[in-house]
Structure 1
Amino acid sequence: MAVLQKIRQRSLLLILIIGLSLLAFIIGDIINSGGFGSVSRNVGSVNGENIPVQDFLQKVNDLSKQQQGISPTQAANAIWNQEVENILFGERFEKAGIRVSNDHVLNMYAQNPQIAQNPQFQNALGKFDKAKFKEFLANMKTTNPAQWEMVERSTPMVENAAKKQLYIAMLKAGFVATDTEAKAKYSEENDKVSFDYVYLPYTVVNDNEAKVSDDEIIAYMKKNEKKYKSEPSRDIEYVLIENKPSKEDEAEMKSRIDALLAPRIVYNSETKKNDTLPGFREVTNVEEFVNNNSDIKFDTTYVAKKDLPVEHAEQIYNLVPGQVYGSYVDNGYYKLTRMMKRKANATAKASHILIAYAGGAAPNPNIKRTKEEAKAKAEDLLKQVQANPEKFAELARTNTDDPGSAQTGGEYDNITPGQMVKPFNDFVFNNPIGKIGVVETDFGFHVIKVTGKNEAVQLATIAQKIQPSDSTSDNIFTQATKMEMDAQEKPFADVAKSLKMNIVPVNKLMYNDENVQGLGSQRGIVVWAFNEDTKKGDVKKFDVPQGHVIATVKNINDNGLISLEEAKTTVLPILRNQKKAEILKKKMTGGSLEAVAQKNGSSVLSATDVTFAAPNIPNVGPEAKVIGKAFGLAAGKTSAPIEGQSGVFLIRAKNITKAPELPNYATYTARLKQEGRGSVPSRISTALRNRAEIEDNRAELNQ
């Protein structure tokens, strides 16, 4: 309900920008830092078409005025992806002759619920009114030219979105599934095979019997270059030396905040006498006292018991006005808390079932019921709830038109006065716990049950952040600097071990990454790792919010393949299993499955009614290659050893049970068509990128 109420209060331009999800990026600090160097005038190019720097920066600069909360690197990466997509799809639009009109562009806005459901742009039937929307844009053009220019510059992006929608629709329309494909799918899912087998898992061979060299791993990746292709990357390691207070610092801070409880004697230069100032317990101007001594200013808000710090809630809530609790530690602060006031019925808890109707505020376009029908349904639900109040949550989940509370059984907790629309608010706060009734608002009819009322308290809290002293910070800085210097001469691991510091590995760090594992946003570390002057083994200290990071470059990967370290987790098992398979195949000799099993101390096992669509062998797992072989083997015949996913198999076919023919395969045809069409957007995007020649100069952003 609170969310619904606020829809009307939102700024329209913000809705346009956020609602389209096309204009959500900032890059302000890139512009402020000078943007690109003189190396290139382009951010990059796609199939020979350049992405000019100035155009790139202008677009994101416009958006930076409307959107906050995204980092410059995230913005640059997102804008880059958008520009690449625009060029790739733009080529297809041109070849397909796709054009869009103003109506197409308006339809893009109309498809966004935040715009289409705004009452400002709806007609009497609650439908999106293009004329009203055009009128708004026309007014913006005259009343706010600056904002209009931004919207006008963003129009090509909306046009591209409209073209892409038409293009994808064309591709989907051209996707078909034949009866032959449907019949094959039916067979995959319903034909069944049964067979006996002997299975020797790869684990029976020790790894040292199947050693794989680094050269073999690299050779395998080069042979399968497309699969293991990678952008340049870096592997780094770092140690974090936290800048945190010592036990002595904490004791000093506790002593200092505790001193605020007692009266203090200070010299008054005007009267030339000593004055006794009251402590926190006795002071009358509490707000001034808190603001003069706290890192967090005085707050008049009333809070419920459940919103107090869990470990201290009971003691704080039970204070009488004027009493003080503390000092205590909470969320990195030393605190003293004084009870000011209590207020009954400060917040409420209620459950509701919203029955909306066509034409109501923020309607769901799927709702067709009239206002009269909505009222009748709400009154019927009221009778059901009154007859059995315990069914309220169940009825809410299955009937409410409020998506914000459907999953909670219609419940809203901690409702404050004025948070909900007035009829809802008045019912909740003017009725006792347990009261059930129906009220009407602009959103529809609500069946409401008041389930709780909460007392709240006003508190005065002095909070002082627990921080290291200057002396402690200096010592930590000295330690970090010494480690940086020592690691220039000695192995990084040895230096870290001597200081009892944990080394954190970060593998496959990409140039356009921003976050560093365990540290959050640390673009500076990424840029340093990729600097052309930074070599393998180099060490550097970085100041971060948590303290100091001493980092070293462990591996530089510029050869176009994934790093050797990463390959050892993916490629090494493949090559090792191949070698193990050759060893195991030599053990699978004999006249029958039984003979092979006896020779290897194994057993002949059976797999019954396995389908190709679900190629799982009981107690083994997925083995598509083995199941495929079984379907192609005549009854009673024994296969050659098969290299499976988890080991080597020898199988003897028993029988194949063919699924009965269907009168038609329309259901399977429709399913294949739906699945195929659903995958079109991602598949066409991937295909276009794979075929494109893309030059990425974003590295110049930080030169």
Structure 2
Amino acid sequence: MAILGEIRKRSWLLLGVIALGLFAFLFNADTFDKIFEKNPNVFGKVNGEDITRDEYNDQLMIMQQQAQQQGQPIKGLEEQAWQILVQSKLIKQQFEKSGLTITDDIFWSQLQYDPMFAQNQQFYDEKGNFKLNELKSQIEKSQAERPEDYAFWLKNKKAIEYRMMARMLFGNITSGITTSKKEAELMIKFRDEMANIDFVKVDYLEFSKKNDVKVTTQDLADYIKKHPTRFKATASRNIAYAYFPAAPSAQDDAATLAEINKLYLKGTDASNGAENFQNTTNDSMFVELNSDVPFIPQYVSPNQIPAGLKDKIATATIGQTFGPYKEQTLYVVSKLLDRQMKPSDSVSSSHILIAYKGAERSQATRSKEEAKALADKILAEVKSNPAKFNENLKQSDEPNAVERNGSVGWTTPQSSFAPGYLSFLAAHKKGDIGLAETNFGYHIIKVDERPESIKYKIAHLAKNIKASDKTENQVLTQATRFIQQTQGKSFNQFKNLAEKNKYRFDNPKTVGRFQGNLPGIGTDKDAEVIAWAFDKKREIGDTDIFTVEGTGDRIVAYVVGKQDEGLADPETVRDQIEPIVKNKVLAKKILEKINAGKYASLDQAAKAFGTTKGNADVNLFNPSVNGAMEPRVAGAAFGAAANKLSQPIEGMTGVYLVVKKSVKTNKLPGDVKQISESITQQNSQQFTGAFMKSLQDNADIKDFRIDVWDKTAQQ
């Protein structure tokens, strides 16, 4: 079950350009049956296609396992799980509309290119061949002997199929992206032509200093209505909070230091003081029983040693102890158990590649048998006389092998090299020469450098410096007093009191129901605070207090605003769009003044606005005007008649009046073919993300999860 076990370790649910982590919250089927009269299993719809309870739970369970295996939090990832499912449905729908299918043969033939397999050499043999038959055999065997592994495989198989659909769909569409000769010629023209202009710029920032402008909520709302797709919003809450950390006091610090000193010098209670960290004969067991940090049996390099120990370990004797010293929130005592010279994972090597017809990227005409015979012959010569390695480089099928002396540089086990090549390096030392087979052919490999470095085996006895019950009670008193003072008060009063008392304060503004984590906190209570804020009974101005498990920290939360699904609440996105809207309000005032003045020249306009006339060279490919990106100004410059005053141009940084003086052409390197290829490549790279966003923006997506959560909580 080695391969299936590896799949359990690497169950990435990637989907083409989608790579998201997830959290598991499993809804109870019985509860659903009580809530809904019809379709109790439907959590949402994408263009009419159901997202079922089973799909959601399967997705979340797999991702929860992945997060646990990687030592990551399993909370706060529900929204990303939902997005994976939505995008998977959209990909599948487009895939089927395109008339594409994934047959059984296609699935197995394409499996090795899936990220779960392609990025892990465990799925390949020493020759670099994908272990497909072994995988199939284990899957068939698990169906009868290990049904839990087989069920896990089926869930992953569905995710893999979605990724295949994405790869095939995007591959088919992007293969049709081309650039015409006329388009390339036009782009060259945009790139090479330069217009010289005189201009007057009424800068928004300078104008606002003398013309105060307030951006109202209605101004923001009007801008949002003009860009509905950009500001499509899911349900969210504007939450503010004051955070009261139960930081250990000086007395708590002293108590922890005394505790570790006792274990270090006087001994444990279980041994009646007879065994301590200095005299123990079983260091690993002593650490496991008495430390807040587990025993690590591996040897570590100097850069992995705690800062408080680095300058002492090099000259220490085996068995010598150090400490107690402080490392972040820990008191630590360390004991040197052993030191050894160990080979580095980094290897410098050279090779001679003998390819054959059919090998990857090969242009050779020799058969595989002929290639093996030639590789054996060269290997025998080089092993008998290593000096002949360079002489035989001329027979290598790798481009520029002679010029580079066959060198591939430095590699590590994580390098993106053929598995067979890396397996050879892992098993050999400096100076070794041997033969390895990969999907590129046969390699005569010489290990040029494999440095050794000293590594240490160290036992660490550590104790967390924690807040005592007394400290936690003081924090509770402080938080309780604060919530009493702010209940029924406005948001500004809540904020001002928190800042006046120098409490930690934050206002994330837009918090989604299933995002799980509050920005800036990251505690086990975040999800509970969010659920509280989304309760149907919750009103703006409500407050509550929450206790963080394990630390005793307190969170006092305040509901600032409520956003239902639809267009974004203007005040929620004020920070994002206020500068843009303010410039538009300023531009309107400037344009009114320019139109009223009816200026006949740039000099008149400059005098009226108290600014100066400028000059710049601009082009359409890089529309910069004296350092400011102004595409509208560049466009107007090329569109205006020579030596004629333009109409006012509402730019990014100000309102411009322009007079085009001349146009010249500076021919830059790059012919039509090169430009065409470059544009095509750039468009292809940008397409997948834009296409996916377009599908999602225009899809009919219904999310029933909030109703499900609220109704479930009421049962």
Distance across 1 between alignment mates of 2:166 and 2:287: 58
Matching residue within 618, 633, 641 for 2:626: 618
Output one character per residue of 1:529-559: Cα deviation in whole Å (capped at 9) or x when no partner.
2222221111122223552211112222237
The 8 Å contact of residues 423 and 440 in structure 1, kept in 2 or not, is answered as: no
Distance across 2 between alignment mates of 1:66 and 1:311: 34
Map of 1:651 onto structure 2: 658
The 8 Å contact of residues 337 and 461 in structure 1, kept in 2 or not, is answered as: yes
Identity between Structure 1 and Structure 2 (%): 21
Output one character per residue of 1:145-201: Cα deviation in whole Å (capped at 9) or x when no partner.
443344345545544544444444443354444333333323222222111112221
Give the CA RMSD over aligned residues. 4.5
Q: How does 1:106-505 map to 2 (within 5 A)?
A: 106-112=108-114, 115=117, 127-128=129-130, 134-152=136-154, 155-206=157-208, 209-260=212-263, 277=274, 280-281=277-278, 293-296=290-293, 301-321=298-318, 323-340=320-337, 342-346=338-342, 348=344, 351-353=347-349, 355=351, 365-366=360-361, 399-400=408-409, 402=411, 427=429, 436=431, 438=433, 445-449=444-448, 452-490=451-489, 491-497=493-499, 499-505=501-507
The 8 Å contact of residues 4 and 149 in structure 2, kept in 1 or not, is answered as: no
Map of 1:44 onto structure 2: 44
Tell me how far 1:500 sits from its aligned partner.
Answer: 2.8
Distance 1:398 1:198, change over 3 A: farther
The 8 Å contact of residues 26 and 71 in structure 1, kept in 2 or not, is answered as: no
Alignment of 1:639 onto 2:633: no
The DSSP-based 3-state class of the residue aligned with 1:194 is strand
Tell me how far 1:650 sits from its aligned partner.
Answer: 1.6
The 8 Å contact of residues 342 and 452 in structure 2, kept in 1 or not, is answered as: yes
The DSSP-based 3-state class of the residue aligned with 2:466 is coil
Q: Residue type matched to 1:11 in 2?
A: G
Moved more, 656-665 or 210-219: 656-665
Map of 2:5 onto structure 1: 11
Unaligned runs of 5+ in 1: 1-7, 269-274, 385-393, 411-419, 429-435
The 8 Å contact of residues 355 and 401 in structure 1, kept in 2 or not, is answered as: no
Distance 1:214 1:121, change over 3 A: closer
Tell me how far 1:44 sits from its aligned partner.
Answer: 0.6
Distance across 1 between alignment mates of 2:466 and 2:29: 32
Alignment of 1:529 onto 2:523: no
Report how many residues are paired.
659
Distance across 1 between alignment mates of 2:84 and 2:427: 44
Unaligned runs of 5+ in 2: 365-370, 392-402, 711-715
Distance across 2 between alignment mates of 1:563 and 1:141: 52
Q: Residue type matched to 1:427 in 2?
A: K
Matching residue within 590, 597, 612 for 1:603: 612
Tell me how far 1:335 sits from its aligned partner.
Answer: 2.4
Tell me how far 1:111 sits from its aligned partner.
Answer: 2.0
Distance across 2 between alignment mates of 1:662 and 1:296: 61
Alignment of 1:553 onto 2:570: no
Distance 1:381 1:314, change over 3 A: farther
The 8 Å contact of residues 90 and 695 in structure 2, kept in 1 or not, is answered as: yes
Distance across 1 between alignment mates of 2:270 and 2:689: 75
The 8 Å contact of residues 196 and 605 in structure 1, kept in 2 or not, is answered as: yes
Distance across 1 between alignment mates of 2:614 and 2:231: 37
Distance 1:445 1:701, change over 3 A: farther
Distance 1:395 1:592, change over 3 A: same
Output one character per residue of 1:231-266: Cα deviation in whole Å (capped at 9) or x when no partner.
222222212211221101212332343345555899
The DSSP-based 3-state class of the residue aligned with 1:507 is coil
Map of 2:396 onto structure 1: none
Distance across 1 between alignment mates of 2:283 and 2:93: 68
The DSSP-based 3-state class of the residue aligned with 1:569 is helix
The 8 Å contact of residues 126 and 437 in structure 2, kept in 1 or not, is answered as: no
Map of 2:582 onto structure 1: 576
Distance across 1 between alignment mates of 2:624 and 2:590: 22
Output one character per residue of 1:661-691: Cα deviation in whole Å (capped at 9) or x when no partner.
9999444444444444444433332333233
Normalising by structure 2, we get a TM-score of 0.77
Map of 2:394 onto structure 1: none
Distance 1:20 1:127, change over 3 A: farther
Distance 1:406 1:75, change over 3 A: closer
Distance across 1 between alignment mates of 2:97 and 2:615: 57
Tell me how far 1:576 sits from its aligned partner.
Answer: 2.6
Distance 1:34 1:477, change over 3 A: farther
The 8 Å contact of residues 125 and 358 in structure 1, kept in 2 or not, is answered as: no
Output one character per residue of 1:98-140: Cα deviation in whole Å (capped at 9) or x when no partner.
3332221123303237646989987998555866655554444
The 8 Å contact of residues 242 and 556 in structure 2, kept in 1 or not, is answered as: yes
Distance across 1 between alignment mates of 2:205 and 2:239: 32
Distance 1:249 1:71, change over 3 A: closer
Distance 1:438 1:653, change over 3 A: same
Matching residue within 688, 696, 699 for 2:703: 696
The 8 Å contact of residues 114 and 163 in structure 2, kept in 1 or not, is answered as: no
Distance 1:333 1:36, change over 3 A: farther
Distance 1:236 1:316, change over 3 A: same
Distance 1:576 1:120, change over 3 A: closer
